[in-house]
Structures are given as structure tokens and as C-alpha cells.
Structure 1
Amino acid sequence: MKKITYKQLVEEIISNFEAPISLLEVIGDNSRLINGLPITYLLRYISKNDDNNEEKIDEYFVKHINNTLLKIEKDDRVFILEQDSSDNVLNFDIG
């Protein structure tokens, strides 16, 4: 796994994925699956759960499992991103 900043994570996702994306989030013994995310909503969701401020440089650990799967670790959270099919795009605001 390589260590990257949030800005590098954004570039990594934009360079390697197209919307829609499925997201599996694992925190401890709990998990959540969201299918059909646009890239901007995905990035917003990942950053929303961080206590992120502009001056802090967040560190993520990423590993490409294959060309359609990316594993991201941040503190006690693990995200698995998977390329989704175009008929699964959701239109909602995670808010």
C-alpha cells in the first residue's frame, strides 16, 4: 500500500475510474454499500467523514487490487471502490 494525501487521492480516483462507482465502507464490524455514485459525490462522502481542515494534510493508504478495484484505508475506516455500470447512476445529495 502506498501513502498519499487527499489531493493525490482525488487525482488517483479521477485518473482511474469513471462514474458511476460502487463504494463499500467498513468501520470496525459495520459496513455500508452504496452503488452508482458519481465521482464528485464519492469524493465528498470520503472527505465528509474526516475532520478535515485546509491546513491539515490527511494521509490515505491505497492499493490497486485490479483495474476496477481500489482499496483505501484511513484511520479505522476502509473503503473499497469498484467501477459500476452506467445504468446504476444515482442522483442524490449525500448532504
Structure 2
Amino acid sequence: MPTGYFSDIYTKELPHRAKTVYMYLKDRSDKNGQCYPAIGTIARELHLSRRTVERAINDLICAGLLKKEQRWRENGGRSSLLYTLVDSN
């Protein structure tokens, strides 16, 4: 069994797109496992389509590895999505 920073994700039965996006989010998350990059930013930096990133995020949510929450501005407008990585241990 692999050991290291991404050892949990290596053993999961997930499409490679989901593993790639998970690693991206983990690399950019804070000590609480949270980050809020835009879909377009993720897609651009990973050289994936926006739709592929959306599918990967859905894969991770369905696998119980990620939570997604809409953030709101003080004026009631939508802000970026907050992604929280869920500890799989």
C-alpha cells in the first residue's frame, strides 16, 4: 500500500480526473482542508475542460471525499464555492 501525501487517493476507485482535481485541491487547501478556487482556474491550471473539472468534483463528492458549499457576499450575491476535503481515515 502506498504511503505519503496522497496515499489515500491512490487506493480509491476513482477516474483519473477526480484524483487529479483532488490533488490540486489538497495542494491549495489550508490546515482545515478548505480552499475556494474557481472552476475556470482549476481547469486552466490543470489543462482540463471546465466540464471535466465539474465531473471530477461530483465524483469526489459522491465518493465522500469532498464537500462543496456556496459562499455569499454581504450584499446577498453569490461568491466562490468553498471546497472542504473530507478526511477518509
- Same fold, judged at TM 0.5 (above): no
Q: Which has the higher contact order (CA 8 A, sep 6+)?
A: 1
Q: Normalising by structure 2, what TM-score?
A: 0.29
